[in-house]
Amino acid sequence: MNVLLPRSWLYVPGNKSDLVKKASNGSADAIVIDFEDAVLTADKPVARSQLIHHVELLKAQNKLIAVRVNGPKELLDQDLEVLRTCVPDYLILPKVESPSQIQYVVDQMKGFDTRIIGLIESPIGVLNAPLIAQSHKNLVALSIGSEDLSFEMQMQPCWDSLYVSSMQVNIACKAAGILCIGYIGSIAEFRELDRFKLSVERSAPLGFLGGFAIHPAQVAILNEVFTPSGTEIELARRIVKEFSAAQNESKGAIAVDGKMVDLPVARRAQQLLERFGHLFD
């Protein structure tokens, strides 16, 4: 499925070719080849050496490709050296706490115009999110790393504990004009799928766009929740059409299906169509 904005990002260990191949045939919109937490230090060279093969495999299946690099400078530099020979669609930078970390990656990847996603995984990162979000044009999104942040905050990764920090990052993203990827909850919920789905369903209306997964069962939920229904698309089309006609008659607000439609409502409908309308053509 050709999705302009990924609904689901599936993490796959970069040293596990069998899992990458399996993911290439799965339903995730984007595959995250992981060099960081999912790969032991001794296996990281293997992950790097297989990157070109994995990228070719995923491109053949029209998958969007991201690579999560390591945070420590020595490991990061080794990762970036490989990425300069095989540039993915996105580079995911973990444990971002300051704009300087984004700038460092931009400088190291100069000439490649790499799209960067920053992971906010500490209290300092949350507090600095407004500065980070506006740090560079190559930064296209931020996301909360719920497990690491919860550890740093000495709390359980759940809706109540993560809500405030998640919304702080979300607001920072919106103010900077970039995306906020994720949901308010734990990525580790791959067996308690009802709980996982509830977290995603509660997060989607708050402006979060797509989410990360560690298991294919989570991917199905992300795709379902972050895809509008045919009814929603049809309503959005009517709103845009009828509001456009009303503006030509110098009307500032109209009613559609018994609800008021003014400029902000019409703009939300137009935004929905721009993101997902092509799926329903």
SS (H, E, C) 83-146: HCCCCCCEEEECCCCCHHHHHHHHHHCCCCCCEEEEEECCHHHHHCHHHHHCCCCCEEEEEECH
The CATH code of the domain that includes 78 is 3.20.20.60
Give 93-144 pLDDT, tens digit per residue. 999 999 999 999 999 999 998 899 999 999 999 999 999 999 999 999 999 9
What pLDDT does 90 receive?
Answer: 97
What pLDDT does 4 receive?
Answer: 57
Confidence of residue 2 (pLDDT cuts 50, 70, 90): very low
Binding residues: 68, 121, 148
Same domain, 238 and 101: no
Within a domain: 2: no
Same domain, 67 and 155: yes
181 with 212: CB under 8 angstroms? yes
Is this prediction's pTM over 0.85?
Answer: yes
Domain residues for 259? 230-280
Binding residues for substrate: 68, 121
> Where would I find the beta strands (DSSP E) of 29-163?
30-34, 64-68, 90-93, 115-120, 139-144
Binding residues for Mg(2+): 121, 148
115 with 90: CB under 8 angstroms? yes
Give 58-98 pLDDT, tens digit per residue. 999 999 999 999 999 999 999 999 999 999 999 999 999 99
Q: How far apart are CA 71 and CA 93, in angstroms?
A: 7
DSSP conformation class of 106: H
Same domain, 143 and 246: no
Q: Is the pLDDT of residue 3 over 70?
A: no
Same domain, 198 and 247: no
